[in-house]
Amino acid sequence: MTTFSIAGLQLEGSAGDNTDHMLLEIDKVMGRFPWLEMVVLPELSACGGDRALAEALPGPTEARFCDMAKSHGIWLIPGSLFEKDGDRLYNTVPVIDPDGNVIARYRKQFPWMPYEHSITPGDEFVVFDVPGVACFGISNCYDMWYPETIRALSWMGAEIILHPSLTSTLDRDVETAMVRAHAAQNQVYFFDVNLAGPLGFGQSCIAGPGGEVVYQAGKGREIIPLRLDIGYLKEARKNGWQGLTQPLKSFRDSKLTYPQYDNQGESKAWRDLGEVRVPVKPDRGQT
């Protein structure tokens, strides 16, 4: 049986630089659980959502996380950083290997519009292999609302989706439902780690290849060390979860084409929805 040990750190983050706090928490979790092979942190943990802390990558904050990964010999997904690239700003997730090397950077493809209007969308998917274990894919917060992104990662070979998040709104319950749905539809482990208060809503959720909840966190700080059963994942893909559905094979074998992907998604029904904009108060006249 092949297992892989991952800890999600649902940390409490405040506005501003939280890097020291994150590094201390990583040190503490590795001291308590030295068998861990990977640590995943929430979206924008390091900067607390402060765009003024954006850096070009590679940069000094990322380098500190590289040193931490190397010192413990772990894979490290330190949430995301605001990346400055010329006059553009990206929300970028570094993937750091146990030697402290950044092997990939994933730029969030769907900034949370219209509220993150100054963030440039990325246009590349990221998967990477942990040798002898599995293929991993990176998603970031609002990307999850677009099922095509997760299906693309699965098509590229991803068996475990790592999903840093920073959600502080009342639709968090909907997102935990999406975690389970994506896991079942794509027969993956979906490892979602959300920031806790005061900036985030917590409730990180890890789901297995049948959509089953492996762990559901509360709203406060939690350390979530898990051993994922890779053999169980591969069995579910081969014969269906509990011998039931085999959705990846059926999708692969289908001859359907999808009209929403023709003509760059042109649709009168969608065009009539109007532009993406922040809602405004209704004009109710003078009282």
Interhelix angle 19-32/60-72, nearest 10 degrees: 10
pLDDT in tens, the chain (287 residues): 799 999 999 999 899 999 999 999 999 999 999 999 999 999 999 999 999 999 999 999 999 999 999 999 999 999 999 999 999 999 999 999 999 999 999 999 999 999 998 999 999 999 999 999 999 999 999 999 999 999 999 999 999 999 999 999 999 999 999 999 999 999 999 999 999 999 999 999 999 999 999 999 999 999 999 999 999 999 999 999 999 999 999 999 999 988 888 777 688 898 899 999 999 989 888 65
* Alpha-carbon distances of 58 from 43, 92, 112, 127, rounded to whole Å: 18, 11, 25, 19
Q: How far apart are CA 121 and CA 184, in angstroms?
A: 27
All structural domains of the chain, each given as residue ranges with its CATH number in brackets, are 3-244 (3.60.110.10)
Extract the tokens encoding 90.
């990206």
Q: How far apart are CA 113 and CA 99, in angstroms?
A: 36
How many CA atoms, within 13 angstroms, populate the side-chain half-sphere of residue 260?
4
The closest alpha carbon to 96, from 128, 122, 123, belongs to 128
Q: How far apart are CA 220 and CA 218, in angstroms?
A: 6
Which amino acid does the sequence have at 259? P
Extract the tokens encoding 126.
């990221």
